[in-house]
Amino acid sequence: MKRQWLSRWSFLILLLLFSLLLAGCWDYHELENLFIVTGVGLDQVADSDKEEDPDKEANTEKMDVTLQIGKTQSPSTGSSDTGTQKSSAILLKTAKDTTMESIMQLDQDSSRTMLLHHNQVMLLGRDLAKSGIENRIDAFLRNQQMRMEVLVMVADRRAEDILAAELEEEEISSMYLYGMMQDLYNVSPHYKIRMLDFVSRLRDGTSSAVAPIVELVEQEDKERLKLKGMAIFKKDKMVGSLSSQEMQGYIWTMGNVKQGALAAQTDLGRAVFRIVKLEAKRDIGLNPNGSIRGTISVYATLALTELRGFSGMTPLELMPYLVTLSENEIKRQIRDAFKVAQELDADIYRFGLDFHRRHPKVWKTIEEQWDQLFREMDLDLQVKVKLPATGQIAKSLEMEEPKP
Amino acid sequence: MIANARFFPFSGIVPNDLVMLIKNNSWKELSILLLGFLFRKLSFLGNQYALYRKTTGPYDDRTKGPGMEKELTKNLAYLKDNLSDSCDLKVHPLEFGPKNQWSGAMVFIEGMIDNGKITDGILRPLKDWRPESKMPAAGDGLINELAKKVICAGSVKPVASLGDIILECLSGNTAVLVDGCATGLIIGTKGWEKRSVSEPQSETVIRGPREGFTENICNNTALIRRKIRSGRLHVENLIVGRRSQTDVRLMYLEDVASHEVVAEVKKRLGRLDVDAILESGYIEEYIEDAPFSPFSTVGYSEKPDVIAAQILEGRVAILVDGTPFVLTAPMLFIESFQTTEDYYTRPLYASLVRMLRFVGYLISIFAPALYIALTSFHQEFIPTTLLFSIANAREGTPFPVLLESMGMVFAFEILREAGIRLPRPVGQAISIVGALIMGDAAVSAGLVGAPVVITVAITAVASFLVPAQNDAASVLRVVMMVLASFTGWYGISMGALAVLMHLGSLNSFGVPYFNGLAWTRDQEDTIVRMPLWFMIRRPQGIPENNTVRGRFFIPVFRPHEVLDEDSEDEQEEGPKERGAGA
Amino acid sequence: MRIDKSRISGLQFMFAMTCFIQASTLLSTFIASVTFQDSWLAALSGSLVCLPLIWLYRSLMVMFPHQNLLEIFDEVYGPVLGKVVSAGYCWFFITLGSINLTDLGDFVKLTIMEETPNVVLLIMCILVAAMALRRGVSLVVRYSDFFVTVAFSVLVISIILLLNQIKLENFLPVFDQPIGKYIQGTHIIAAIPYGELVVFLMIHPNAKMSRRDSGRYLLWAFFLGGFTMLFTVLRDVAVLGNTLDMFTMPPLVTLRLVNLGMALSRMEILFVIVLIILLFFKIMVLYYVSVMTVAHLLKIKKYRHLILSVGAFMITYGLTLYPCPVKHAASAQETTPFIWSPFEILIPLLTFIVAKIKKLPAGKEM
């Protein structure tokens, strides 16, 4: 009995071993046969391409897909020719109907397989963003290789230019973008728009998605990437944008700000503050006349970092003055941003969602007309600033000495 | 073998057909043929194993030999014959008595006796012996008289069997035969050159006793006795090995050790029927529970304090003559992670080191497999910057990851083996050549990537944290690497689960080998080492009775603070407590 | 009498049940697309609804402390009808095992091994489980407390790591769905993780526990398991918000979001192994119970002969059960709870009542 069992087991183990050795490995990909994709750019098909190929004209679904691939260099060869080092990113580009089709096409055309897991950023070209993106991003949600952490950004002109940028700070521009967003995340989490946040807003129905805009700037032969503002989407189409200043106003409205600067100018002089902490509390309700009333209370703790002017004021007078000054400045910026949003009918603050959560019963009756309600909504803005410290010096050089 | 015939209709095939099959490209038949061949080989092994399991008769084959004759010459002739007329057999003729009326002979084996003992204990008293009253007649009376009054030695006993005389002589005792007597005397004169007690090489400690066992079994027994001066410490002698007739001693605490375990050990030792026992490893291999498992189910140590601690926990120690390595049974998996120093250093640090050892063990098994799985299956899970550095290192290396890491692991095993066997100075040179030059050269020549070298290096270093499980770890490491290269992370997790299941199925002398970090009292000495005063009970499962080590009491923490706060209470309760303690 | 003679302690029995419930946390998927942000309410009410069910199982365990479910049937319904009911349960257990087996395959395929054929993954799993089964129930449940500890610590760690992404507003609005949806969600939760505890009626004779203990252990297992499930759902809702119902496996997406800077991201591989282990445990228990049922039906004392054949059957059955995961999810939402209900609730209840009327165990005990 025992013997039979043993032989039967050994037979099974043998079979398993054979299957191990013969059948091969399915998911096995050597690293050197992979292209590590670090960024994906989606663009409207460029005009020049259209002329070359008349077929494309008929099909407006086509888009340019640009993949940025981090180039790997073997350490032994890399060290020898540092002088003549070229860009360390490879750009591959093709035009197909969908993202995955393009990626598969590029897969076929190149020597290696695409590894999409490490994609850092999805860049949308401005034109594509304006024409609607809902049918473009399914691949980024469905595919197992795509992560929900991928950053969503809009390129000021074409996404491929951003991906092709040769920067001094970082060899691969998408890694630079990732670093930039991570840095801004520490300022406020609302700067960093991940795929999850983006999709979450698209699914709200009433909310408008936002995404940071990057711009390629050339300064004295050097290319730099700058954050230009925020794109505002209505449904899935980009309808406008916030400027840098207005973006700050938007971020403050969302609260949870841990860093940042605030400059205020008056006739007397210019004061620069550092934001130590900024919280915003939001409340939303229905006015008796049927319009929507939103209340935003901002509580900010600032620190004074630079002063210019204000001569003739004693520190004792100055501090309350600075407090009101900064409060007004915050109010102004928030209102500026809000005005832009209202003009575009775009609820970037997710007031609609807030209303839905607070008053689910009423929401059902007003959901249809939310756009109009939002346009006519009045914002009740209260800002409270605390300015506990003046920094290392109490008086500035320009200030007048109090007379004895 | 019906199964055989059914599965492999081609098993009786001749080589000609084989050639034909190859020529005809009939790969299907060929593979069936090969399978059949391997299957037969394996079933042969299975048969052998079954045969081994069948041999269960207890061995009792000690050569009794014939009884002694009265004539001295006949006895001597027999002894010479049966000791194959060896030249180191010395027969020293004696004549003694007041008038030298008795003749006899002293038989011993050169080199195994202590010359001083023979001169002072046998020769001189015999020469000087003048019986006080009447002369005893030749025969048992004389032998008794000699044994009781004349010979000065620690152990003197009469024997009547020539077989016994041969055995005793072979173990270093001296036989005194007297003409006309059918009994002889065996006098304990063992004495040979031996290594003195020294610090063991395999288990060095920073804090703790530095003595180690020697090759002499009596010495070893004494070393343990010096640690446990208990009357309940039972020592039992067995003789194992048809030819080697090796002394094997069992030591255990009668009132603590489980009777089932003791009986099991005795049963398995009794089942042994072998030519020789040269080292305790022989015994281990014959009595262990799972011979084909990578995990050993019998513990061993070279240090008396370790063995004493094991005995105190209720285990049985098996001492074997001729080796400083003492076996203990039953062995638990967790034992490999407990070193004596854990109990000599303070508990906080000891716990930290204990955890480190667990982590090190896991690293030593899984690190290369993880490297393979991550770099060739799940690049997703490597942080991007790290992935780039690994990819840069991998760029341009010619071999697949599995081959690369297998090669490095193999190279490491070679270096280790070479380093151990060679004398220490040369060994160091080898490790320098191996580690520095080979590793560095291989990387800079682009043969292997630097990450592999790092992985294998950390694996190698980590494997030294748990030396007792080193052999198991080496085997499992390779298995895990193969599994990882087959189905990546899933393969590793299934492999780990299989190892867990295997560990769970093991028993050591009827005691479960691995309790799976279960929520039991044993946790106090598993991942952490609780303070000694906390561990008042012996580990679960091993001891049968007397599971309590001592009374539980908490040593006074910060005594002066207590005095400050509760000085009144202290005075009241002080005498009471002392009374209770007494 | 008993086929498998190995014994387990009451504590192990409890942890085995906890682990069994925890293994179903992956299935919170099924309620996510039914009750959305109120899924945690469904999890909670589902758990509470199950309390009487737990009491029912406990009473059966106490009434027949030395007989497993099939032996109870034999005694309560007589040899013929009992066998028919037992055959039904045999199908139920094997189907359950096969479904969980395919769950494991789908999960692994979705997360780490995209291209590997399902059958290879399943064979590996069944072979490892078979190793454990050969040693009987004592090895099957031996590591349950270890697994439970690991599962708990992973839950706690993941919640801590995700603290900065948790938005409590995601729970609002509460009670926003039509009432029918809540009932559906509650039913799913009741039938899938808790009702499946009926398999432990096959194991309880092997556990060494007193009358009082059995109830206590069942309740504790229920609380620990329910706690895990509730907190998993809470975590997923708080992190994913309104995207929860979009994903096929919300817990996994949640874990993938753990990110502590560049170096400490992408750690979900650690969570994946825990989920694999938990599913493996559940499969192993179901596999064991299936083998025992088959052995009992065929009156085979040496159940070891059956292990591999039952395993092979479970693999093939599992592979042909559902054509795709979508269909699987749909059936788990709609049909499965109704098919399972008789086996998990009705028949045990009927057995209990009939046994009470016949005053069966009392006569037997004396």
Q: Does B507 touch chain C (CB under 8 A)?
A: no
Please judge whether B383 and C135 are an interchain contact, meaning their C-beta atoms are less than 8 angstroms apart.
no
Q: Does A2 touch chain B (CB under 8 A)?
A: yes
Taking CA atoms, what residue in A is nearest to B375?
A: A31
Tallying the residues shown for chain A, one arrives at 404
The Cα of A308 is separated from the nearest Cα of chain B by a number of Å equal to 44
* Burial (0-12, 13-18, 19+ Cβ within 10 Å), C97: buried
Domain assignment of residue B31, given as a range? 1-36
Residue type, C350: L
CA distance B248 to B236: 8
Residues B299 and B428 in one domain: no
Q: How confident is the model at residue B326 (pLDDT cuts 50, 70, 90)?
A: very high
Residues B473 and B453 in one domain: yes
Residue C287 lies in a domain: yes
pLDDT at B15: 55
Q: How confident is the model at residue B61 (pLDDT cuts 50, 70, 90)?
A: very low
Name the B residues in 372-401 with CB < 8 Å from any C CB: 377-378, 380-386
Please judge whether B401 and A30 are an interchain contact, meaning their C-beta atoms are less than 8 angstroms apart.
yes
Q: Does B497 touch chain C (CB under 8 A)?
A: yes
Q: What is the DSSP string of C41-72?
A: HHHHHHHHHTHHHHHHHHHHHHH-TT--HHHH
Residue B367 lies in a domain: yes
Q: Give per-residue pLDDT as tens, A338-377.
A: 888 888 888 888 888 888 888 888 888 888 888 888 888 8
Q: pLDDT at residue A384 above 60?
A: yes
List chain A domain ranges: 31-72+86-243, 255-404
pLDDT at B244: 83
Please judge whether A7 and B396 are an interchain contact, meaning their C-beta atoms are less than 8 angstroms apart.
no
Q: Does B170 touch chain C (CB under 8 A)?
A: no
Please judge whether C256 and A148 are an interchain contact, meaning their C-beta atoms are less than 8 angstroms apart.
yes
Domain assignment of residue C79, given as a range? 8-365
Which of A2, A3, A5, A7 has the highest number of chain B CBs within 10 A, making it the mutation to test binding with B?
A: A7
Taking CA atoms, what residue in C is nearest to A198?
A: C243
Which of A5, A28, A119, A170 has the highest number of chain B CBs within 10 A, making it the mutation to test binding with B?
A: A28
The Cα of B361 is separated from the nearest Cα of chain A by a number of Å equal to 26
CA distance A383 to A249: 12
Phi and psi for B105 in degrees, rounded to 5?
Answer: -150, 150
What is the fold of A255-404? Answer: GMP Synthetase; Chain A, domain 3 (3.30.300)
Residue B569 lies in a domain: no
Supply the DSSP symbol for A290.
S
Q: Does C135 touch chain B (CB under 8 A)?
A: yes
Residues B494 and B350 in one domain: yes
Taking CA atoms, what residue in C is nearest to B498?
A: C128
**Contact yes or no for A217/A224 (Cβ under 8 A):** yes
**Contact yes or no for C209/C136 (Cβ under 8 A):** no
**Contact yes or no for B295/B475 (Cβ under 8 A):** no
CA C227 to chain centre: 15
Using a pLDDT cut of 70, give the percent of chain A over it: 84
Q: pLDDT at residue B12 above 80?
A: no
Please judge whether C173 and A357 are an interchain contact, meaning their C-beta atoms are less than 8 angstroms apart.
yes
Q: Give per-residue pLDDT as tens, B108-125.
A: 988 888 888 888 888 888
Q: How confident is the model at residue B3 (pLDDT cuts 50, 70, 90)?
A: very low
List the one residue out of C112, A321, A313 whose CA is nearest residue B484: C112
Beta strands at A151-155 and A210-219: parallel, antiparallel or unpaired? parallel
Residues B25 and B153 in one domain: no
Residues B229 and B247 in one domain: yes
Q: Does A36 touch chain B (CB under 8 A)?
A: yes
The mean pLDDT of A218-245, rounded to a whole number, is 86
Q: Is the dihedral of CA C327, C330, C335, C341 positive or negative?
A: positive
Please judge whether A2 and B53 are an interchain contact, meaning their C-beta atoms are less than 8 angstroms apart.
yes
Please judge whether A203 and C242 are an interchain contact, meaning their C-beta atoms are less than 8 angstroms apart.
yes
Taking contacts as CB-CB distances below 8 angstroms, the residues of chain C near A27 are: 112-116
Q: What is the DSSP string of B409-468?
A: HHHHHHHHHHHHHS-HHHHHHHHHIIIIIIHHHHHHTTSS-HHHHHHHHHHHHHHTS-GG
Residues B253 and B127 in one domain: no
CA distance B212 to B204: 10
pLDDT at B55: 58
pLDDT at C30: 67
pLDDT at B581: 39
CA distance C267 to C260: 10
Name the A residues in 17-36 with CB < 8 Å from any C CB: 19, 23, 26-27
Residue C145 lies in a domain: yes
Higher pLDDT, C190 or B254: B254
CATH at residue C288: 1.10.4160.10
Q: pLDDT at residue B13 above 60?
A: no
Q: pLDDT at residue A315 above 90?
A: no
Q: For the complex shown, is ipTM > 0.85?
A: yes
Taking CA atoms, what residue in A is nearest to C239?
A: A196
Q: How confident is the model at residue B25 (pLDDT cuts 50, 70, 90)?
A: low
Q: Give per-residue pLDDT as tens, B191-215.
A: 888 888 888 888 888 888 999 999 9
Q: Does B200 touch chain C (CB under 8 A)?
A: no
Domain total in chain B: 4
Taking CA atoms, what residue in B is nearest to A10?
A: B42
Residues B427 and B501 in one domain: yes
**Contact yes or no for B552/B533 (Cβ under 8 A):** yes
Residue C298 lies in a domain: yes
Please judge whether C135 and B490 are an interchain contact, meaning their C-beta atoms are less than 8 angstroms apart.
no
**Residue contacts between A and C (CB atoms, under 8 Å):** 55
Residue B136 lies in a domain: yes
pLDDT at A14: 65
Residues of chain C under the 50 pLDDT cut: 364-366
Taking contacts as CB-CB distances below 8 angstroms, the residues of chain C near A5 are: 304
Supply the DSSP symbol for B147.
I
The Cα of C122 is separated from the nearest Cα of chain B by a number of Å equal to 11
pLDDT at A6: 60
User: What is each CA distance from B446 to B147, B441, C129, in whole angstroms?
Assistant: 80, 8, 43
Residue C177 lies in a domain: yes
Tallying the residues shown for chain B, one arrives at 582
Neighbour tally for C118: CB within 10 Å: 18
- The first and second tokens of residue C160, run together, are 């801590």
Taking contacts as CB-CB distances below 8 angstroms, the residues of chain A near C173 are: 356-358, 360
Neighbour tally for A283: CB within 10 Å: 12
Residues B276 and B246 in one domain: yes
CA distance C108 to A244: 45
Please judge whether A12 and C308 are an interchain contact, meaning their C-beta atoms are less than 8 angstroms apart.
yes
pLDDT at A83: 44
Residue C347 lies in a domain: yes
The Cα of B390 is separated from the nearest Cα of chain A by a number of Å equal to 9
Residue B5 lies in a domain: yes
- The first and second tokens of residue B296, run together, are 């050993």
Q: Give per-residue pLDDT as tens, A253-296.
A: 888 888 888 888 888 888 888 888 888 888 888 888 778 888 88
Taking CA atoms, what residue in A is nearest to B483?
A: A20
Coil, strand or helix at B15? helix
Residue C144 lies in a domain: yes
**Contact yes or no for B370/B483 (Cβ under 8 A):** no
Please judge whether B487 and C145 are an interchain contact, meaning their C-beta atoms are less than 8 angstroms apart.
no
Residue C2 lies in a domain: no
Q: Does A403 touch chain B (CB under 8 A)?
A: no
pLDDT at B304: 93
CA distance B436 to B451: 15
Coil, strand or helix at A31? helix
Residue type, B268: R
Higher pLDDT, B389 or B571: B389
Name the B residues in 29-58 with CB < 8 Å from any A CB: 35, 38-39, 42-43, 45-47, 49-50, 53
Domain total in chain C: 1
Partner residue facing C108 (CB), from B386, B490, B498:
B490
Q: Give per-residue pLDDT as tens, A28-75.
A: 888 888 888 889 988 888 765 555 555 544 456 788 888 888 887 765
